[in-house]
Amino acid sequence: MTGPREQFRPENHDNDNFLMTTVVGSYPKPKWLHRARDLYEDDDEKFDDGNFQEAKDDAARLITEEHERTGMDVVVDGEMRRNEMVEYFAHRIDGYEFNGRVKVWGHNYFDKPSVVDEVEYDQEWLISEYEFTADVADSPVKVPITGPYTLASWSFNEVYDSEAELAYELAELVAEEINGLVDAGARYIQIDEPALATTPDDHAIVGECLERIVAGISASDASGGSSDLSDGVPDDVRLGLHVCYGDYSRIYPEILDYPVHEFDLELANDGFEQLDVFTDDEFTKDFAMGVVDAHVAEVESVEQIKENIKKGLEVVPPERLTVSPDCGLKLLPRDVAYGKMENMVQAAREIEAELDAGELDVEPAAASADD
């Protein structure tokens, strides 16, 4: 086993096999939430903190329940409270300042923050978000958190001698937040490191960050025992890592040494061209595979998604396969995002039934000698 997974199986799950279904994290915001933010940011309007908080709570409740309606096993609130994956955190960390937006591509911009002083943990980042979602949801809740390497890499560093040094400092803060989340009851934490795809040569830095996070969790009161992989991380806490839109051959199999249970990777976008990367060297962790494209506004059919899931079964056996979209869904129209998730869950359930019935003959390409 590669980690505590069975706890996420729903009580009324119909099939013996269990392909865990979930999302990466972000989901399209309702239009009225954007409107509410505009009102909140407009000094001429009387839309205050309380009004905006209420709007975000409503949206988080709505999208958490929308995820549950698709039938997925582990849900998220769609990151309704987060404006962007670095900005959101930088606003909550001492040592950051904002100077204005910078270009990403075309007319897409990002309010890239600057580290102008030593970074320190100030207010909580995600604990209240988790508590609210867990309260709304009947299903288990996953918490996506931007990783220290991406927080460092997508900031201007005015203080530390190197980006790595900044990333290591931030890793301590991420560990502190994860401790708080674990204390609050979170059992599935996904660390997002998309910046690793930009600079794959830095995979050792990301590895060191994760080691420090795990050490930070171990050192805390939250740790109640020892898991098979991550000393000191409570046995029932599952750690994942999400990396997307890069050349995986430049980071795999090295990333298998990271102290996490699961890798969540994007593969549908380029038609599973990179699948070979993961079959050439045995995939020894849980594999959360992107089976629908987050950048195509057409809902894939159940049949198509089933074919994609079968590709995942070439990499790992069913008990180690998680079924998810390529990446956050926030850029899709909301009905398309919903349709994709509904079909994805349906496809997973049909594959499970076919596996139960012995109708599917899919074997992982590589089997280790000591299995």
Kindly list the residues in this chain that would bind another protein in the complex (CB under 8 A): 99-110, 112, 114, 153-154, 156-158, 195, 198-199
Q: Return the beta strands (E) in the chain as ranges.
A: 20-21, 93-98, 102-105, 108-110, 113-121, 143-146, 156-157, 188-192, 238-243, 262-265, 286-290, 321-324
Residue 16 or 42 having the CB closest to another protein:
42
Backbone angles phi, psi at 186, to 5 degrees: -65, 135
Residue 153 or 343 having the CB closest to another protein:
153
Residue 100 C-beta: closest distance to another protein, Å: 3
Residue 12 or 108 having the CB closest to another protein:
108
Residue 369 C-beta: closest distance to another protein, Å: 38
Structure tokens of 287? Answer: 């594999």
Residue 95 C-beta: closest distance to another protein, Å: 13
- The DSSP letter of residue 47 is -
What are the angstrom distances between the C-alpha of 163 and each of 10, 106, 167, 241, 347?
Answer: 42, 26, 6, 20, 42
Residue 156 C-beta: closest distance to another protein, Å: 4
Residue 242 or 306 having the CB closest to another protein:
242
Ranges of H-type helices in 70-141: 87-90, 127-136
Consecutive H or E run containing 52: helix 49-69
Residue 109 C-beta: closest distance to another protein, Å: 6
Residue 160 C-beta: closest distance to another protein, Å: 11
Residue 52 or 245 having the CB closest to another protein:
245
User: What is the distance between the alpha carbons of residues 331 and 294, in angstroms, rounded to a whole number?
Assistant: 8
Q: Minimal CA–CA distance to 82: which of 293, 341, 330?
A: 330
Residue 122 or 270 having the CB closest to another protein:
270
Strand order from edge to edge, sheet including 321-324: 20-21, 321-324, 286-290, 262-265, 238-243, 188-192, 143-146
Residue 161 C-beta: closest distance to another protein, Å: 12
Residue 40 C-beta: closest distance to another protein, Å: 18
Q: Minimal CA–CA distance to 283: which of 244, 313, 256?
A: 256
What are the angstrom distances between the C-alpha of 126 and each of 7, 286, 309, 358?
Answer: 22, 25, 31, 43
Residue 166 or 210 having the CB closest to another protein:
166
Chain centroid to CA 287 = 13
Backbone angles phi, psi at 97, to 5 degrees: -140, 160
Residue 16 or 118 having the CB closest to another protein:
118
Residue 32 or 109 having the CB closest to another protein:
109
User: What is the distance between the alpha carbons of residues 271 and 282, in angstroms, rounded to a whole number?
Assistant: 21
Residue 153 or 324 having the CB closest to another protein:
153
Q: Which residue has the tokens 């530390």?
A: 160
Residue 201 C-beta: closest distance to another protein, Å: 9
User: What is the distance between the alpha carbons of residues 55 and 35, in angstroms, rounded to a whole number?
Assistant: 10
Residue 46 C-beta: closest distance to another protein, Å: 24
